[in-house]
């Protein structure tokens, strides 16, 4: 298992907090102001001009996440998809991108319905494929999602990013499922880390957001920052404040998400009504050894398959009580989702697959719920 990043638990416990010199307040305020006063000499002494460019609460969230990822800069957006879109707009004009087949379906859909219309060429690769074989002369970005969504496939981030860097091609790792607690992709050579902060970072299923963290605050990041402030899909101040608050319990939450998910994976693995379990912590999972090397723990997400395709999987989900039937992930509550029926046509997930976001409930209640739902 990779070494724990320096004091990440300690950094998280007081993320974004420093005593206010005027009031002594330990936690940060929310700055809702959209505009900031100029001094008589025409300068902006507080460093902020207009809230689309920058806002103190968003800036605090951005610098905090950059530090947690070991990066040099961060741009926060109104959603994970806005962050994804900004990366492509900033880096890929007139070019080609390598995308995994089992990428988050929203990214695949946006790529094929919108980015393609703007002339983007796309090569989809399987995790087992030779990624570097997909690189072309005009490749502008390699997109990695590890573990992938929902098949939990693992990419060797160091190997792919190293090869891409040797050819001068930037890489992005969608690390939504990991958070900096489980993996810091910049340490493995990625150029950018992408987050849907809607998930574990916010952590309570009540705030939408996204972020791009860059290893280098100059270079290609500058174009991402320009798209952020000019196109304006920025994270609002209240969302930034809520997400900062989420960060402060992230270490403890991830610990329990991971422990509960590992128990659930073992339980499902041994269950006669389950045909397949996808979880990076299972020794038979392809990529398990790579996951062990590049992640600090195996995460709170898994999926499993039941024989009998869509009808059987839907019937299992319908019987669940503690696991709530809803999309999304990373909240305190456990969720179950029949993935193929929420993906745009044609779905790529197996019809008999259910994805679980394992929450913070008592493990006995989670296992009892699964047991009764899987009973014939």
Contacts to ligand PLP by CB under 6 A:
79-81, 104, 106, 149, 174, 176, 196, 198, 208, 210, 328
CA separation for the pair 66, 98 (Å, rounded): 25
CA 355 to chain centre: 16
Omega prior to 150 cis, within 30 of 0: yes
| Minimum gap (Å) between residue 80 Cβ and ligand PLP | 2
| Burial status of residue 345 (CB atoms within 10 A of its CB: 0-12, 13-18, 19 or more) | exposed
Cβ neighbours of residue 280 closer than 8 Å, sequence gap 6 or more: 147, 152, 154, 287, 288, 291, 295, 298, 299
Residue sitting closest to ligand PLP (CB): 80
Q: Which is nearer to ligand PLP, 79 or 179 (CB)?
A: 79
| Minimum gap (Å) between residue 143 Cβ and ligand PLP | 11
Instruction: Give, as one character, the DSSP assignment of residue 35.
Output: B
Catalytic annotation on 127?
A: no
Catalytic annotation on 58?
A: no
CA separation for the pair 5, 3 (Å, rounded): 6
Choosing from 58, 199, 253, 355, the catalytic residue is 199
Q: Which is nearer to ligand PLP, 173 or 186 (CB)?
A: 173
Cβ neighbours of residue 276 closer than 8 Å, sequence gap 6 or more: 304, 305
129: left (phi over 0), alpha (psi -120 to 50) or beta: beta
Q: Which is nearer to ligand PLP, 163 or 337 (CB)?
A: 337
| Minimum gap (Å) between residue 194 Cβ and ligand PLP | 7
Q: Which is nearer to ligand PLP, 55 or 198 (CB)?
A: 198
| Minimum gap (Å) between residue 100 Cβ and ligand PLP | 11
| Minimum gap (Å) between residue 243 Cβ and ligand PLP | 11
Which H or E element spans position 225?
A: helix 221-231
CA separation for the pair 260, 52 (Å, rounded): 40
Choosing from 58, 102, 104, 127, the catalytic residue is 104
Choosing from 156, 174, 221, 253, the catalytic residue is 174
Q: Which is nearer to ligand PLP, 297 or 373 (CB)?
A: 297
Is the distance from CB of 372 to CB of 319 less than 8 angstroms?
yes
Catalytic annotation on 140?
A: no
Catalytic annotation on 50?
A: no
| Minimum gap (Å) between residue 208 Cβ and ligand PLP | 5
CA separation for the pair 15, 32 (Å, rounded): 20
Q: Which is nearer to ligand PLP, 80 or 246 (CB)?
A: 80
- Angle formed at CA 57 by CA 35 and CA 50, multiple of 5 degrees: 20
Q: Mind telling me the catalytic residues? A: 52, 104, 174, 199
């Amino acid at each position: 298992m990779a070494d724990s990043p320096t004091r990440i638990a300690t950094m998280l416990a007081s993320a974004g907090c420093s005593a206010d010199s005027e009031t002594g307040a330990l936690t940060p305020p929310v700055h809702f102001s959209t505009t900031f006063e100029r001094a008589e000499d025409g300068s902006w002494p507080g460093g902020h001009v207009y809230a689309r460019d920058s806002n103190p609460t968003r800036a605090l969230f951005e610098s905090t996440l950059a530090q947690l990822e070991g990066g040099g800069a961060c741009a926060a957006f109104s959603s994970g998809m806005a962050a994804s879109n900004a990366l492509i707009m900033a880096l890929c004009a007139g070019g080609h991108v390598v995308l995994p087949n089992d990428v988050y379906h929203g990214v695949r859909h946006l790529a094929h319905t919108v980015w393609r219309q703007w002339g983007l060429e796309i090569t989809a690769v399987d995790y087992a494929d030779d990624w570097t074989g997909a690189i072309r002369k005009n490749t502008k970005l390699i997109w990695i999602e590890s573990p992938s969504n929902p098949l939990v496939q693992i990419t060797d981030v160091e190997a792919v990013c190293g090869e891409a860097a040797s050819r001068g091609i930037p890489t992005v790792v969608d690390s939504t499922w990991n958070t900096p607690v489980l993996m810091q992709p910049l340490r493995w050579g990625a150029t950018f880390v992408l987050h849907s902060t809607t998930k574990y970072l916010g952590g309570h299923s009540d705030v939408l957001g996204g972020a791009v963290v860059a290893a280098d605050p100059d270079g290609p990041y500058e174009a991402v920052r320009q798209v952020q402030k000019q196109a304006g899909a920025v994270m609002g101040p209240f969302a930034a404040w809520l997400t900062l608050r989420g960060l402060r319990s992230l270490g403890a939450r991830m610990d329990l998400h991971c422990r509960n998910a590992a128990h659930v994976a073992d339980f499902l693995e041994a269950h006669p009504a389950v045909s397949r379990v996808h979880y990076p912590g299972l020794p038979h999972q392809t990529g398990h050894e790579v996951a062990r090397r590049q992640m600090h723990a195996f995460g709170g997400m898994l999926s499993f398959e039941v024989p009998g395709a869509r009808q059987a999987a839907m019937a299992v989900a319908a019987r669940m009580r503690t696991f709530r039937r809803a999309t999304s992930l990373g909240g305190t509550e456990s969720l179950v989702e029949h993935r193929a029926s929420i993906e745009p046509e044609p779905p790529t997930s197996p019809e008999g697959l259910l994805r679980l976001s394992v929450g913070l409930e008592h493990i006995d209640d989670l296992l009892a719920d699964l047991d009764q739902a899987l009973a014939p």
